[in-house]
């Protein structure tokens, strides 16, 4: 049996995370800023009575910022018994892949931090970067 992945956009690139980590995908909604939070933390939002921290995934991955529009979504994930929202530029599809289709992150001699990346999958002519959410959220700064 394959692995189901939610595919989403950051800038013009496609990324994916496992469906099993996703609680919900919601339209962008009101967020309350938190003083002295890291720059990638947008703030907190009220999700069905629960206060959920929200991060800007572009900033967390050190990508250029984009403007919010009608396609902007918050993907709410559950990690280590905590809910966290990730702002993404849009959700494109849910796909099923086999573990054997995941190619390792290419190694390069430059000092690129690839700890956030679980692997890369080819979908038709597009390359999709699979994120390691544990590293995205819990990496030591």
How does residue 9 score in pLDDT terms, banded at 50, 70 and 90?
very high
For residue 84, list its beta bridge partners. 77
pLDDT at 113 over 70: no
Burial level of 42, CB count in 10 A (0-12/13-18/19+)? Answer: buried
pLDDT at 52 over 80: yes
**Per-residue model confidence (pLDDT) at position 136:** 84
Contact in structure between 85 and 54 (CB atoms under 8 Å): yes
**CB-based contacts of 11, cutoff 8 Å, min separation 6:** 58, 63, 64, 66, 89
HSE (side-chain half, CA atoms, 13 Å) at 50: 12
Burial level of 39, CB count in 10 A (0-12/13-18/19+)? Answer: exposed
Which stretch of 55-69, 84-98, 107-121 has the lowest confidence by average pLDDT?
Answer: 107-121
Closest by CA to 79, choosing from 21, 7, 15, is 21
């Amino acid at each position: 049996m394959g692995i189901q992945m939610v595919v989403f956009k950051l800038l013009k690139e496609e990324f994916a995370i496992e469906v099993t980590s996703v609680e919900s995908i919601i339209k962008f909604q009101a967020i309350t800023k938190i003083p002295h939070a890291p720059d990638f933390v947008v703030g907190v939002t009220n999700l069905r009575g629960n206060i959920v921290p929200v991060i800007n995934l572009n900033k967390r991955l050190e990508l250029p910022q984009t403007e919010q529009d009608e396609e902007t979504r918050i993907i709410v994930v559950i990690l280590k018994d905590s809910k966290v929202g990730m702002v993404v530029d849009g959700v494109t599809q849910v796909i099923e892949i086999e573990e054997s289709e995941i190619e390792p992150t290419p190694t390069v001699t430059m000092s690129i931090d690839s700890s956030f990346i679980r692997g890369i999958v080819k979908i038709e002519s597009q390359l999709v970067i699979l994120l390691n959410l544990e590293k995205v959220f819990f990496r030591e700064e």
